Structure 1
């Protein structure tokens, strides 16, 4: 069985850009929904004050995350005018190639860091069925 991978990115919302960002993220969610049938979950969260955004998605394996970055990746750069990407945290072990893709995303959309968190122990009840 493959290891579930959880991806979380956190961004600061640029001043005065919240409404435009929310509209852009709704379009991105619709794009992901239409083009990535194997993604387990894809969710966008905003802080109460609207100054922070987190994007959280779950994948059955590294291949699913790689597919997401390939298909949705071209949709990311226009969002850069609304955010400053601060961090990408990945829980589970993506391929080394994917780590480089994350590093490129951080440099394109912000100045943040990429952190990979290896699984120590646990259970998964997430099913792609």
Structure 2
């Protein structure tokens, strides 16, 4: 799988902010789709009660995640008043510099921790073409 990286962050939605957050995240997802051609997937999920948001993205390599933080990074601070980030989980091994940037993002958006999960075994198959539409 090489440098494949999966990223999952979990945030609490601040009371009364769900509508604003859904709009902001739809805009962010559209921006990422238009401006980050290397990202394989970028998906936003909300719990049934709207109290929790999870953002999952898949990257073919570390450079894709680095580009995401660079390109979309300026769009993170406006989301800060809408959430409290609880955690970022990285599946794959980032560089120390990238890990530091992820920790800074977690602190900007909440009090979240960053956890790295090293690959033990497995594989990934991705087909290029049309984006997945849930």
Which bin holds the TM-score, normalised by the shorter protein? over 0.9
5+ unaligned residues in a row in structure 1: which ranges? none
Please state whether the residue corresponding to 1:73 is helix, strand or coil: helix
Aligned counterpart, 1:87:
87
Aligned counterpart, 2:132:
none
Contact 1:60 1:128 in 2 (8 A): no
Aligned counterpart, 2:35:
35
Extract structure 1 runs of 4+ deviating beyond 4 A: none
- TM-score by structure 1 length? 0.96
Q: Distance in 1 between matches of 2:89 and 2:46?
A: 17
Please show how residues 1-129 of structure 1 align to structure 2 within 5 Å.
2-128=2-128
Contact 1:88 1:113 in 2 (8 A): yes
Q: Distance in 1 between matches of 2:128 and 2:98?
A: 21
- TM-score by structure 2 length? 0.93
- Give the aligned CA root-mean-square deviation in angstroms: 1.1
Q: Distance in 2 between matches of 1:107 and 1:49?
A: 25
Q: Distance in 2 between matches of 1:64 and 1:33?
A: 13
| Deviation, structure 1 residue 53 | 0.1
| Deviation, structure 1 residue 123 | 1.1
5+ unaligned residues in a row in structure 2: which ranges? 130-134
